[in-house]
Structure 1
Amino acid sequence: MRIGTRRSALATTQSGHVAAALTEKLGVETVLVEITTDGDRSQAAGTPLVGAPSMGVFVSALRDALLAGEVDVAVHSLKDLPTYATEGITLAAVPVREDPRDIVVARDGLTLGELPPGSKVGTGSPRRVAQIEALGLGVEVHGLRGNVDTRIGRVREGVLDAVVLARAGLARLDRLDEVTEVLDPLQVLPAPGQGALAVECRSDDAATIAAVAALDDPATRAAVAAERSVMAVLEGGCAAPIGALAELAEGDDGPELWLRAVILSTDGVLSVRRSASAPLGDDPAGWSAAGTALGASLAAEMLVDGAAELMAPHDSTSHQSARSAEVHNA
């Protein structure tokens, strides 16, 4: 089975995990096929993704190879996938998710809150920028691109005091010993789908779809379906300041899905937050649909609360006099 992957160390490690799982569960031989994406090329050139149609730039080349029959399976970080369906492509499996939280790698073992005002914190994510600004710590947030080594290297070189990354990436690279803080989702919500992998197949390849389905985890699929449904309704890509996290819990009447979401102005001054829950039922086959419905409902409430206004540019002076819209619904 030919598995398409991006060339980065993290991507090949993630795809290697999928390959190992397929071999263990099904006994099939696998080979990784490395493919360079538009996102990799722009990242190597230092071209910023913000302000460009960034959702999917790490995905399209892998999907092209899949549709051309050059690979049988494509493995992506799920948060990179566009929220709309693509003709000829089936999401065959969403394996068990890594911890979706964000982490800090800072000088001298410091946490984000321990950094002195004026410290330089690096991240390439508008979502992280807005939520860090909302904490009011007085740090300076700087744009940052590159692979894990490049980003952490900026701290080691003294160029930055800290960087904020996804914990899942460092976990898969076996580098959690470099983490100085795991950020509480109450402070910084992760990106929709963060920490999860997407395993795609050609829609007409029924045999491969059936085989890969052995890797699917219904709880993870339901959670990311809810988070991505929020993003889809809010019409946000990975350049939009949107965070969401869904978690499975055992309720009085069976499994439930709890979802939290936030959308912020780019400077973090304005925000709309909501949370909600829904029962999943006894059949895991229906959990993904329940998650999608929960996310769509929550996002619709956020739009009523003013989320659409936060998607448009705001005058920073008006932000200072505006009151943050904090709405919580259990």
Structure 2
Amino acid sequence: MTTTDIPLIGISSCLLGERVRFDGGHKLNAYIEKTLGSYFSFRPFCPEMAIGLGVPRPTIKLVATDAGVRCVDSKTGEQDFTDQLQDSANQQRDWHSQLCGYIFKKDSPSCGMERVKVSISPTNPHNKRNGQGIYAATFMQNFPLIPTEEEGRLGDPGLRENFIQRVYVYYRWRQLESEGITQDKLFRFHSQHKLILMSHNQNSVRELGRLLADGHQTPIEELAENYIQQLMAALKKPANRGNHVNTLQHVRGYLKRDLDGDDKQELSETIEQYRLGHIPLIVPITLLRHHFRNQPDPFIEQSLYMHPYPAEMRLLNQI
């Protein structure tokens, strides 16, 4: 396994402006290209082009059959591309295994991550939005730990922050793997991410703590695999305001003996204003950073909760 200086992200080619759509067009997403492109290294791929469907080409669709959901040509339904799209995903496993995330094209019968239209039957044109693109589904089955998202959902500030946070957590995990995981390094990794985990699921903090505490006799490879599976599963659910408030109050506890009355009141009021939704998360975090610069704490210094990804991304300003 190799690592890069920035996270490597797979992406549907059309989202970067490549003219690979069925009509010869593209779906360039400016935020992905210009903003995320400053922090991620993209690996574009179009599975429909990879299996030999040219440009322009007839459209394809998902249809429910006795053999399961299949991907067929939209006009006659006689050409079935399901196996080819699955094979294409499997053939990319080498570079897929290097990724720290994947951004898929929404609604695509090949690349849609979820809620893709599925015709009720080969003869019934009515649809249900309960499908997954064949290529995307195969990728996610092959690599369930790698964070995935659709470009449409990245317009939601909470989902966007959650995806990018997970990408950076997994990127750091990849770096740890490349160095060689030891028990000490695994404990340090957990300590760095403990407050991030707390903001998502406080029960998972306890569960992963017990996993590590009870893992002294477990082979490190098995312990690490169990740990990252549980961590990434817990982080998949976006952090909510209530859990952030609990985490901020927990962090504040490392300062309570070092602040005077006015500073304590200001910090408490700022956290309360965030709880009420009057200010974004960046405000109490900035105030906490200020106090910890004056009163350093070893645990908080190594924690990544208050700087989980490059500050220039400004994600905490929007949640």
Rg larger for: 2
Structure with greater proportional strand content: 1
TM-score, normalising length: structure 1 = 0.24
Higher relative contact order (CA 8 A, sep 6+): 1
